[in-house]
Every structure is written in C-alpha cells, then in structure tokens.
Chain A
Amino acid sequence: MQNLESFRYILPELVLAGFAVLMFGLSAATRGKQNSLQRVWIPLLSVIALLAALFFGLSSTELTSVIFSSRESTSPPAASNLFFGLLTFDPLGVFFRMLVMIATLVAVLISIGSPDLPKDRTGEYHGLLLILALGMCFFVASNHLLMLYVSMETVSLCSYLLTGWNTPSNRSREAGLKYVLYGGVASGIMLFGMSLLYGLLGHLSIPELHSAFANSELIQTDTGRWACIVSVMFILAGLGYKIAAVPFHMWSPDAYEGAPTPFTALLSVAPKAAGMAVILRFFHSIFVPSSDSITTLSSGLDQIPWVLFIGILSALSMTVGNLIALAQNNLKRLLAYSSIAHAGYVLMAVASGGRPGFEAVTLYMVVYLFMNMGAFAVVSVIDRHLGTEEIHGYKGLSKRAPLVCFVMAIFLFSLTGLPPTAGFIGKYYLFAALFQKGGTWFMVLALIGVLNSVISLFYYARIVKAMYLDKTTEQSSEMIPVANLATVVAALLAVPTLILGIFWDPLARLADWSASILR
C-alpha cells in the first residue's frame, strides 16, 4: 500500500506524535518554572491526547461492537502492507495498540502529583510518555524486522530517559545507566541476529521470511540450520530482554526499583505486553505453516526448535522470578521479580500457540494490566505518605489506610491467581491453552506453572500479612490521608479486577477477536 493511503490507519499514532511535539514546545517555553501550566495543563493535555488516540483507535475498528454484542466476531480488518509492508493492521496489533495506550493513560494519571518526578520538567516527561506509547504502537504493528528494530529502539530510548528521570535520586540515575547498558547490549545482539538472518535468507519482511524459511535449501544443510538457529536465538534474546524473561532479566529489578514509581507501573506492563505481542507475531507468522503453504510441508519451518526455546525461557522465568521474589523486602523489587514470573506464565501460552494460546496471552495481558498497575498505584500512594517502599513499612497499615489496603489485597490475590479475581481467569486460560495443545512437554510446563503459583502465594501473602496481621511498629496510628488521584485510580482498577473474575464474556470475545489473525 502506498504511503498516503496508509496514513488513515495510523491516526492514533499521528495524534500521539502531534501532542508529543506540542508538549516539548510547551516545556521549552516553561523550562525551570513551576506554574499551573506545568502542574495542571500539561498532564491534562496528555490525558486528552491519549483519550483522542484511543477514540480514533476505537472508531477505526469494530472493537466496540465485539465487546458489547454477543454475536460472533466479524471478519477482521485486513490491511497487511501499510507503508510498503512495514506495518500491518490486524486484530492482534489493534488490540495491543489499545492496551498500551490504556496502560499509558493509567500511568499518566498516577504520575500526577508524584514526588518522584521533578516538578519543573513535566512537559518533557509527558512528551516522552507519549513517544513511548507511539513507539509501542508501531512495535506491535511492525511486519518488517527493520521497523521492529526502529520502534523497539524508540521504546527503549524513552524508557532509559524516564527510568533516570528522578535526577535528584542517585538510585534513579544508577538505574537509568544500568538500563542503558543492558538495553544497548541486548538490542545490539538482536540487530546482529537480524543481519545474520538477512545474510542467510535475503529477506527482512516477516511474511517473506516465512516463505524463505519454508523453501530455503540452505536450512536443510547442517551449517545453515545452525546459523538460522543462532540468528533466531539472537532475536529472541532481544525480545526476551524487552519482556524481562530469565536469563535476560538482570536489568529489571534495578530499573524497577530506581525508576519513578508511576513509570515503573508502566514499564512493568506496557513494554511487556507489546513484547509478548511481537513474539507471538514473529514466531507464529514465520514458523507456523499457514494453510496455503501445504505444498511445502517438509520445509525448513520445523527445523528451528523455537517452541522449546520459549518453553525453557518460560520455565526459567517462572521459577527464578518466584524464588528470588521470596527474599525481597523492597516492594518495587518484589513486584519486579513477580513481573518476571508473570512473563514466564504468559510465555507458556506463547509456546503452546494456536488460537487458544493467542487468546490466553491477550486475555492475560489485559488482566495483568489491571492488577499490576493497580499494585504499583498503591505503592505510589503509600510512598507519597510514608516515604517507604519496604514491606516492614506496611505493617499494621490496614488500620491507618483501610481502603488502600483492601484494594492492594485484591490486587495481590489476583496476582496469585485466586478466584474470584481476574487473575484466576487469566491463569485458567493459560493452563487451558496448554491442555488444549496437549503433549508431555506442555503438561510438564503446566505443572511447573501451578507449583510456581503456590510459591508466589507466599510472597504476596507476606505483604497482606504485613498490612493486616502485623502490628504497626510506628508510634503514630492516625489515619493516612489518601484522597488523591492515584488512590482513585487504584480503586478504579480494582473494579475490573473483581468483575472480570466473575463475568468475563466480553473480554473472552475480545481475545477471540484478536486471535482471529489465525484462521
């Protein structure tokens, strides 16, 4: 498709880009001042930008009708070759585009009034957040390895900056630097993998790579096969770093702990969701034989043991993430390890693939958005008033902030995966996808997964225990004033966390729709 025709499919991204430029302009005009523009208008503009982008995103698709009507989803919108095949416009991309924009919106709302963020640079902060959202939108829609790389770097660069945003704090700057170093190495490896692949097969576009793998003579030879495996592993390493899967997770605890809490909330959800979408698209578009390539059945597609790689990543992420989380005392670090474990859970379904696997991944990421961002919102609220992120600071908190502790308990039990919360439904879909696929390898993964859920209960319950069971160590026992926007956001996030645990038909339809790229 020609460039000009393609533009009408990327209206949300154009809106985000326009507002981001506006933000940078505004911030240049107000640099160093603390006025109402910085305090009120810029965050409000940022909210408006995201709402407008969401509106355009919704209106250009049939998402709303999928959510609200119980009829079977109609045929998906098909525009697979925007900008000469750099981007694609399919249900999976559209779904995750919405998801990352909603996550960014929540992060913008939690950011308002956060003490972690310098007061005189709000314009740049919100501009970068919008660019980050823009990068993720392109990331999930990219159909070409070059576009994939460029958009991933956009996301990464904004993330580095925002992680180190709290410049007065040594920890934040250290986290930013660590993140740059790890990120630079990871994206270098990924780029190396892509260049190897290009050298071996002569293509970078994902659909063309599919047929190249299927028909290549090279891959049938031993050396060629190993070269292909290595290059695919390199690309997986880069993507694994984005979703913080073990063993590419080293950056995440430090970055999560040091970054401003509202940004940590975003970092733990949106890039992870986008990375999952890209892994789904990359591996399933390239290596799963499509119905029209039956003629080339004994092809090079099954020469690459990617299911095994992802399964191993999954088992490692779950186990290592959960075991290390047991020993954490800092809540943000604990949630960092827990989010590594959650990446592992989702990767189980990514490995199993097929329509059930796609559905499980999309459904889980929605649920994960609500519960994980909710938990970080609570951490942010408590940090504002007590100045602590340590678990022992939460002792006896239920007496002093009953509402906040109540919603936190909901989020934590949902992260554990206990009914009647949404987290259970998410886990249920993941395991159901594995069972539907069948086979010993997936059964073993499922067993590892459930045992890990039991382990995870222990550290989530530690927080609940501190809040509800322990006596406060501090002298003061007066109520904590929590009437601010972040509390409202946390409480609002608890509502879908509970409702989706009892009634999730609309979400299931949405997941089914987004999985309809597999026919």
Chain B
Amino acid sequence: MLESTLLTWITFVPSMGMGIIGLMLLIKPVLKLSNQTLDNLSRFVALVASGAAFGLVLWLWQGFEPGLTNPAYPTTQLQFVHHLVWIEAFNIEYFMGVDGLSITMVILTGLISFIAVVASFPWGIEKNDKKHFSRKSVPGFMAMVLLLETGMFGVFCALDFFLFYVFWEVMLLPMYFLIGVWGGPRKEYAAIKFFLYTLAGSVLMLLAMIALYFASNPTTLVDGSPCSHTFNLIKLATENDFGSVGLLLGVDFTKIVFIGLFIAFAIKIPMFPFHTWLPDAHVEAPTPISVILAGILLKMGIYGILRINYSILPEATVWARYAIAVFGTINIVYAAFVCMAQKDLKKLIAYSSVSHMGFCLLGMAAFTEQGITGAVYQMWNHGIISPALFLLAGVIYDRAHHREIEGFGGLSKQMPEYGALTGLAFMASLGLPGLNGFISEALCFLGAFNVFTVLTVLSALGVVITAAYYLWTIQRMFLGPLNQKYVNLRDMNWRERLTLYPLSAIMIVLGFYPMPILDLMNHTLHELVKPLAEASGLL
C-alpha cells in the first residue's frame, strides 16, 4: 500500500490512551472512583492502547511489500505514506512513511512497548511490597509510557526532519519522569543526567537541521506550492548536493553538519565516550523502562545515522568511516572489559548493550551489504535480547530486592525455569550459533573483515570477553551451593512467562531462520549502501 493513514493511527493510538487516562483523572472526583479502581482502569487502558498499536503494527507488516518501489520517490521503498502540509510559513510537512529500514524498528517498537506494559502489571508481586513501582501513581506511569510510545513510533515513521526532531524531543520528558519518579535510590541523578546528555545532543541536531534546511535547494511542498527550502528527508537526500555548499565555521559544510548530527546520535547509541549516562539510567529505571530504553531508545542513534547522515551526507560519511569503525571497536572491546568488572547484574547488562551496539557501528562503517545488513539486524536482535535480559534482572530483583551477582549462588536448583531462560538469553547475547545474536554478529564481521581487517580481529577479542563475563555470571549466580537466604524464592510467575517466552521463542526461531526480518530490509539497505560503496572505491 503506497498511501495510507495507518502510520498516523499507529503513532497516535497510544497517545489517545494517554488522553483517556487524563480524562479519567479529571472525572475521578465526579464519579467518586477509588484509587484502586483508577489504577486498574489505567492499566487496562494502557494494555488496550499498546495492544491495539501492536495489532496495527502486525497489520502494517502484513501489508508491507519488500522491494516495492514507490513511483513518487523512485530510489526508495516508501510505503504507507501519509503526507500533508503542516506549517506553511516554514515549509514544514507532516510526512510519515516506512521503508525496509524503518519497518523493522516499527515492528520492534510495537512488540517491546506491549511487553513493557505487561511487565508493568503488579501480578505476582508480593502484596506487602507497597513501594514497588507498579503500585505507585499508576495512572501517571501508564500515561507516560504511552506518550513515550507515541514518540518512538513517530521517530521511526517521520520523514520530515522537523517532525522527526519534534518526536525525538517528545520522548525526553516521559523518560525523565519515568526514571525520576518511579526509579531506584539514585533516580534524580540518573534522570537529570539522561536528560542533560540527550538534550546536549539534540540541540546540536537542531543546529545541523537548520543548517541543512537553509542550504537546501528550492522545491515544492506536497500540495504543489513552491518552497524555497525543505525539511523533507527524501528530498534533502535526492535533490541536493551539500558537498558544494562550501565552508561553515571554516570547515567543510558537510563535515561539520555530519559531526553535529553524529554526536547527537552517538549520545543515544550510546557510543564511547558519550556512554556514561546509560548505566546510571538503566540501574535506576524500573524494569519496563529499562526494557524500552535498551530495546528501542538505543536503536534510535543507529537509525538516525543511517536515515539522515548516510543518505543526506554521503561524502562526509565516507570521510568519517574510519572514525565510526574505530569507535565501534572501542565500544565492543572496552565495554566488554567493563562488564567483567561489574558487580550489579543490571549494570552488567547495561554495559553489554554498549558493547553490542559497537557491532552495529563496525558493520555499518564497512559500506558492504553484509555489514550494513548485519548492523540493522544486530539492532533488531539486540532489541529482542536485551529486553529479555532486563526482564530477567527484574525477576530476581523483585524476589531478592538486590542485584549483586556475588550475593546469589546455586539459583538453578531453586529456580530451574528462571535459570534456563537466563541461560538462553545469555547465550543469545554472547552470539551462540543457533540463536539470533550469532547471525547478526557474524554478518557484521563478514562485512567488515575485508575493509577493516585489524579492527575486526580486535573486535573478535570482544566476543571472547563477552562469552567470559556471561559464563562467569552464570557460574556465580546459578551454580555452586544455594545461598541459604534464598531457599524460599519462587520460580517464574505467569506475568513473567507471558513476557519472556515470546522473546525467547523469537531468539530461537530467528536464530535458525532470519529471513522474515532480513527480507524486509534487504532492498532498502542495498539502495542505501550502493552510493557509499561506490564513493569509497569498494565497488
């Protein structure tokens, strides 16, 4: 389907849910609802809204035809396009659409948000645990999660730079409150650190966006009226050659704009040395928020680089490829070493995310088809595996009220099901063949080996360390004698099974048969990487 309002519905169904929760808060005194009723109602609304969005996403998947070229934008596979003029005075459009790159992320967003909402239910949490995040100001929590979901869908669907930026920033506020209100002991520090880091990046993006706008050629808006400049990401990529703009601040225009955008996205990835907000945010955030943060928000950095830097500034991308690959290698190896030293399970998983996002950077810097496919597939796989890991960390934290790896031992005797699922997720994360993580890491290495041989060999070292810290963690937590404090721990409950089994199933299925996801993105990535490979002399 080339034209459709489906993406608009997907994006704004969650915020409708937020509106309903807001209305319920307003009429609460009128109907004399008890707090208990209101909590349950808002949980229900959030479940329905995110479930409906997920259902629409599945419908989108079913209607998406990989490789179908959009006649209006000949070099793209844009589908489900919804295109209007928004603010005429500044040539801003409301332009939504998905291609092979963004649809994978939209599917991931729908799935992970739904799982996060399920994980926010208090089923199976001990009744006397009144301070648990799932029992604290529930309407506010659910409203914020739904607003966040709208922001995430919007970022992945927006094809107008201004719209993209608005959605990008809309995600900040709910995240700040979700960490700051419902988080752990150092929540204020973690929330403001997250907020400041991300805002510092996004103001650079704002400047780069304005610079690109004023350097763009005259074109037409969607209603046919002429405009002197454009925010349309597709037109910025196809109708403009920014290489000939000249200098800005004494540096080549494309390079300085590239750097501004790259820093903005690198903070979100998070790339060394901008990664320090992530462990703090993860450790303090409640489980479902860690799930969303690791599963989707981290993907926006790579997505933004591919969507904007790669397609609009190809010359500068070729110029910066070695830097991207080097930073990717540093991410992989450095973060893996840091993981070895972690005592807190959640912090370990957070640093492992940093390490795994490094594979994306390495793969996409190679400009080979395997490399870039591996990078996007690694984003998707990490979006499945790391939410599972954070859910597992939440399971043990809800029972033992701490996450010290050394504090456990022999848990597999007491909680065999938990032990098995954790083992599976760890193995998928360290790249065991037969599970999905292996395929994407292998693709990244395959693509990068001929181009960056030394860096790829160094990165392979990171894989070994990854195996080491995961296996060591399993040994310390699950093997050996059972800590006598924990003889009463219960195994998994149904809420946890509901969230973890689907993710585990995806890990196994995609490990053997990755084609459902790879088929979606192949054509688009081929188009994306071809000019870059030509420019860098690989073809």
Contact = CB atoms under 8 A, between A and B. Distances in A.
Interface string A404-446: 0000000001000011100010001001100110101001101
B181 A418 contact: no
A217 interface: no
B173 A454 contact: no
B211 interface: yes
Interface residues of B, number: 33
Contacts, number: 82
Given A419-B169, A451-B203, A461 B210 contact: no
Contacts of B89: 504-505, 508-509, 512
A69 to B, nearest CB: 13
Interface string A450-474: 1101100110010001001110000
Contacts of B196: 454, 457-458
B420 interface: no
B20 interface: no
Contact of A461 (B166, B192, B207, B213): B192
Given A431-B210, A451-B203, A505 B88 contact: yes
A480 interface: no
Given A418-B173, A419-B169, A457-B196, A450 B87 contact: no
Interface in B161-178: 165-166, 169-170, 172-173, 176-177
Secondary structure dominating the interface of A: helix
Contacts of A505: 87-89
A512 B88 CA distance: 13
Contacts of B187: 469
B90 interface: yes
B250 interface: yes
B344 interface: no
Given A435-B214, A503-B87, A468 B180 contact: yes
Nearest to A427: B206
Contact of B169 (A424, A450, A470, A504): A424
A70 interface: yes
Given A431-B210, A469-B188, A418 B172 contact: yes
B461 interface: no
A40 interface: no
Contacts of B170: 419-420
Interface string B201-223: 00110110011011000000000
A465 B87 contact: no
Contact of A453 (B165, B188, B195, B203): B203
Chain A interface size, under 10 / 10 to 19 / 20 to 34 / 35 or more: 20 to 34
Contact of A443 (B165, B177, B206, B248): B248
A213 to B, nearest CB: 31
B165 A431 contact: no
A447 interface: yes
Contacts of A503: 87
A432 B248 contact: no
B192 A465 contact: yes
A504 B87 contact: yes
Contacts of B27: none
Nearest to B212: A435
A215 B120 CA distance: 74
A446 B206 CA distance: 11
B72 interface: no
A505 B204 CA distance: 25
Contact of B249 (A424, A440, A465, A509): A440
Contacts of A458: 192, 196
A418 B169 CA distance: 7
Given A457-B196, A461-B195, A435 B210 contact: yes
Contacts of B249: 440, 443-444
B199 interface: yes
A447 B207 CA distance: 8
Contacts of A444: 249
B199 A453 contact: yes
Given A419-B170, A512-B89, A431 B192 contact: no
Nearest to A456: B199
Contact of A468 (B165, B169, B177, B207): B177
Contacts of B180: 465, 468-469
B88 A461 contact: no
A438 B249 CA distance: 10
Contacts of A436: 214
Contact of A454 (B88, B169, B199): B199
Given A457-B195, A469-B191, A450 B204 contact: yes
Given A454-B199, A465-B188, A508-B89, 6 more contacts: A419-B170, A435-B213, A435-B214, A469-B188, A470-B188, A504-B89
A-B pairs with lowest CB-CB distance, top 7: A508-B89, A450-B203, A419-B166, A419-B169, A469-B180, A435-B210, A454-B200
